[in-house]
Amino acid sequence: MKQIKQYENERVLVLGLAKSGFSAAKLLNDLGALVTVNDGKPFEENPEAQDLLEQGIRVITGHHPIELLDEDFALMVKNPGIPYDNPLVAKAEELHIPILTEVELAYQVAECPIIGITGTNGKTTTTTMIGLLLNQERTKGKAYLAGNIGFPASEVAAKATAEDDIVMELSSFQLMGIDGFKPEIAVITNMYEAHLDYHKTRENYVAAKWAIQENMTSDDYVVLNWNSEELQEMSKQTSAQVVPFSTKEKLVNGAYLLDGGLYYKEEKIMDAAELGVPGAHNIENALAAIAVAKLKGVSNEGIRTALSTFHGVPHRTQYVDTINGRKFYNDSKATNSLATEMALSGFANEQLILLAGGLDRGNGFDELIPAFKGIKAIILFGETKDKLAETAKKAGISTIIMTSNVETAVPLAYEQSEVGDSILLSPANASWDQYPNFEIRGDKFMHAVKQLEK
């Protein structure tokens, strides 16, 4: 870790804890800052705050007193999930207090190169693939995963050495709080509309994602999804070297799919059928990862070995088990129609039982009609089951079964299946009507699958 001096004896306010705030507070304290932590959760229910207090760090919990900002802070480090219209954040902006997220601190202390991955969908899978590829033939150091994937960036950066790499998943929320942050390689997996409740407009959302490259130079590389005309146009605005990837066209200067093969420039790396995860979206993810691996010097054989044995990230088209000739897949992370549509592209619909449903956000599902056509059966649950049933009828699905939740859907799906079929949980909805998060929903699905073996 670089022993930077800029925070010594500076007053810094860390707003919001969770993993990133906790790690940021510890790092800043180690760097000699005078840290104050403010978190909304009451102290008696806040183990992170209790831990920091034991380390001698000042904590204020249970509310966000606006008068805190009378203390002449030099910096605010904000939890990414806290919006900028939060009264304390808005007041800090009014007072011209710099507002950063924890990934900026990570960049400031990191001794090693950073590979940053952002986009609307596929970030976690692509980040995981890149980490596997960079560790495949490594003889010195390690590629660490960090960021939005669940490992606080500042904690990872503090332990990484100059011989390592940090492969960092970055959300739009995190990227809004950077200043000098500059990855050696940046990846944008795709760009759709998302998080408008936070960003207010699509333009704001896209600008937040595009910030990943704003400090890059001609010595750096930005890997972009060339299937997106928007990203093609945006590529003209970066100083970094552009490395495109596409499933639709041959790219002599990038990664692409051609006649069932995955290529980098003119060189075939492997067959798409060798990938350990299904779906057209995972071909895109793999192409992005291949581009990074080739830029970092990984051999074709190393790439082929890593990607053929990678069977997915938990809850993202994750292979679960094969029971009596039926394959089960957990795609609980599919919390919108686009994610489900992409997951379905990896399966033969005539041999597929789909489990879907969840929180009703007021939207319809007619955009899924083309993807639903030919599906053998659909098992529906949650608040949106009636809406999804209407979509299934329009798509011509003849077997539509309603049930109460994921756990009851699994045995019903098995009853409708035959040897050779796949059973896929890809809800197309958030989980919050019945489950605290998509991870718990996916865990319930996997547990129900295991029960079939008894």
Q: Is 142 annotated as a binding residue?
A: no
Q: Is 325 annotated as a binding residue?
A: no
CA-CA distance, 341 to 349, in Å (whole number)?
Answer: 12
Contact 60, 68 (CB under 8 A): yes
Q: How many CB atoms lie within 10 A of CB 442?
A: 24
CA separation (Å) from 162 to 1, 120, 127, 143, 231?
Answer: 9, 30, 20, 11, 32
Contact 147, 168 (CB under 8 A): yes
Q: Is 340 annotated as a binding residue?
A: no
Q: Is 322 annotated as a binding residue?
A: no
- What secondary structure does DSSP assign to 117-164, as a single string? EE-SSSHHHHHHHHHHHHHHS-SSS-EEEEETTSS-HHHHHHH--TT-
Q: Is 225 annotated as a binding residue?
A: no
Tokens of 202: 């699509």
Tokens of 329: 């897949």
3-state secondary structure of 11: strand
CA-CA distance, 439 to 444, in Å (whole number)?
Answer: 9
Strand partners, 348: none
Q: How many CB atoms lie within 10 A of CB 384?
A: 25
Contact 272, 257 (CB under 8 A): yes
What is the identity of the amino acid at 338? L
- What secondary structure does DSSP assign to 238-292, as a single string? -SSEEEEEESSS--TTSEEEETTEEEETTEEEEEGGG-SS-SHHHHHHHHHHHHH
Contact 106, 97 (CB under 8 A): no
In the annotated binding site, the residues are 119-125
In the annotated binding site for ATP, the residues are 119-125
